[in-house]
Structure 1
């Protein structure tokens, strides 16, 4: 169904005003044809501008432990089930975990995150990560970790160390999850998010797109994240890594990526939306339009097993578009 441009704007204004929309409206938005995506984006841009003005968040990650993951996520080069040519190493020592944070303290990067491979970390490794971040006294950075499925005591320890946010993607919606991962359940992920919230941590949770999900399933994931009241939603676009089940497969186009971002913004009007892995590969020359599609943040620097734009490139883009990084 096509909405004329004023209708997209009207829908956005209704969302901004706090009106509860019928689910059918969201479903019609998700069915927007490619030729009308820039009209869809106009409403998403209005919503972003209302809640976040011209400010853009920048985050960066450290791949603190790489490879040989016990889980079978079909898209992931770090899974032991895949024969991907990636660097494999155990948990970095404390100084290496801290190095990236020290390099970012006097930059415009707002948040630094340590990410580790595996279903979860044992207690001693959770303590090692928590202690490493606990020693970083600078208030110029916020700290996040992504350590897999942890228990309540481990979450409490991270909070006591000064970690402010826990990252744990749902990856995709419930109805599609078994097509993406079978070595743990969707509820395992949901419960991990709930444990992080009980510990007083803010939560960053989103997914990866381009793994054969439908637009209806994109919308399903958005509603799941809304129900969980997550604080930030990272959006990753598939990089079809050699050796994985998705090698050579990718049904994403730049326009479809912008559509996904826009739909997320309509459903999650006041939630941070951060564009992460696969941004340049999939959006190509349109990657600078992620903000007009509704995003208010990007991950800068390298990702887990792939490279990304470096900080100065992203800062140049942000300033050229008339935005400002959060200081």
Structure 2
């Protein structure tokens, strides 16, 4: 694996040398993951009123963002969203809920939703917060194939972003998912105010966890959150970061998720140019995504297949 010094060198790549760095990242991607784009979709199955204080999050009850708030959707409504995702060509469908974790009753409701989704031959995933092995095993038995739980940021910076749970809580949940035999989807958010050294720290921690899929988000500051006035990363830093993740995680599916549309705008093709091999189809939790047609156009323009 590359060293910390290697990571910092990537993040400090001069603009004139950036095209070559991106070419090398694409070469690594093509060698290890091929030229097939990984596309996923999600449903915001339980929205808002979260008691956690994550500085970036529109769904935190400690922020005034005007986000829609509702209880866990019934299994039939979740299934309808999954069927739409399948129709749109998503390879994986995730059930995402706000909050630190779900109650036992809500877990059972998600278990039923997973059963319905798995029966339709849909790759079922879930992101339900901090969760114990027993519940993960129930979900796996119902047909869940992947659990998503981001580290969010480097351990050395985590307390600046969240104080209501710990970095170790997140690592423990990620390890529990792997322990019961689920695929692990685990990444983070870049541009939270962390240093370049901390970005390297995060990617090295992810390499140690060895998830199958790594969602890479870039902060799109949302009014009403603690990070509302933070300056977003520029396009060059986004490209350097995508390349960084590809160099350190050569054989993983790296998807550029949150912030893609808002920060890259008419240069979303750079997602693939810098070495990623996927992104999210459709809407995010609280922000809108591209049209499905425009996203497929990006995939085709990159010479990838969906």
Give the TM bin, normalised by the shorter chain.
over 0.9
- Secondary structure at the counterpart of residue 71 of structure 2: coil
What is the Cα deviation at residue 22 of structure 1? Answer: 4.4
Does 2:210 match 1:229? yes
1:295-310 aligned at under 5 Å gives the runs: 295-310=276-291
1:194-273 aligned at under 5 Å gives the runs: 194-273=175-254
What is the Cα deviation at residue 70 of structure 1? Answer: 1.0
- Distance in 1, Cα, partners of 2:151 & 2:4: 21
- Secondary structure at the counterpart of residue 138 of structure 2: helix
- Distance in 2, Cα, partners of 1:263 & 1:123: 39
Question: 1:138 maps to which residue?
Answer: 120
Runs of 4+ in 1 over 3 A off after TM superposition: 20-23
Q: Does structure 1 conserve the Cα–Cα contact (< 8 Å) formed by 2:273 and 2:302?
A: no
Bigger shift: 50-59 or 105-114?
105-114
- Distance in 2, Cα, partners of 1:129 & 1:81: 26
Q: TM-score, normalised by structure 1?
A: 0.90
- Distance in 1, Cα, partners of 2:133 & 2:80: 28
Q: Does structure 2 conserve the Cα–Cα contact (< 8 Å) formed by 1:74 and 1:246?
A: yes
> Which runs of 5 or more residues in structure 2 are unaligned?
none
What is the Cα deviation at residue 21 of structure 1? Answer: 4.3
Question: 1:163 maps to which residue?
Answer: 144
- Distance in 1, Cα, partners of 2:22 & 2:204: 19
Q: TM-score, normalised by structure 2?
A: 0.96
Does 2:55 match 1:74? yes
- Secondary structure at the counterpart of residue 201 of structure 2: helix
Q: Does structure 1 conserve the Cα–Cα contact (< 8 Å) formed by 2:148 and 2:186?
A: yes
Count of aligned pairs between the two proteins: 305
How big is each residue's C-alpha offset from its partner over 1:126-171, in whole Å with a ceiling of 9 and x where there is no partner? 11112112123122x2110000000111111110010000000100
2:37 aligned to 33, 56, 66, which one? 56
Going from structure 1 to structure 2, the CA distance change for 1:22 and 1:305 (only over 3 Å counts) comes to closer
Question: 2:265 maps to which residue?
Answer: 284
Does 2:164 match 1:191? no
1:98 aligned to 65, 72, 79, which one? 79
Question: 1:150 maps to which residue?
Answer: 131
Does 2:286 match 1:314? no
What is the Cα deviation at residue 55 of structure 1? Answer: 0.6
- Distance in 2, Cα, partners of 1:43 & 1:81: 43
- Distance in 1, Cα, partners of 2:8 & 2:188: 19
Q: Does structure 1 conserve the Cα–Cα contact (< 8 Å) formed by 2:33 and 2:252?
A: no
Question: 2:15 maps to which residue?
Answer: 34
How big is each residue's C-alpha offset from its partner over 1:173-231, in whole Å with a ceiling of 9 and x where there is no partner? 10111111111110000000111111111110111111111221111100000001111
- Distance in 2, Cα, partners of 1:217 & 1:24: 12
- Distance in 2, Cα, partners of 1:251 & 1:240: 7
Q: Does structure 2 conserve the Cα–Cα contact (< 8 Å) formed by 1:65 and 1:91?
A: yes
What is the Cα deviation at residue 316 of structure 1? Answer: 1.6
> Which runs of 5 or more residues in structure 1 are unaligned?
1-19
Going from structure 1 to structure 2, the CA distance change for 1:234 and 1:64 (only over 3 Å counts) comes to same
- Distance in 1, Cα, partners of 2:128 & 2:201: 25
RMSD, aligned CA: 1.2
Q: Does structure 2 conserve the Cα–Cα contact (< 8 Å) formed by 1:173 and 1:221?
A: yes
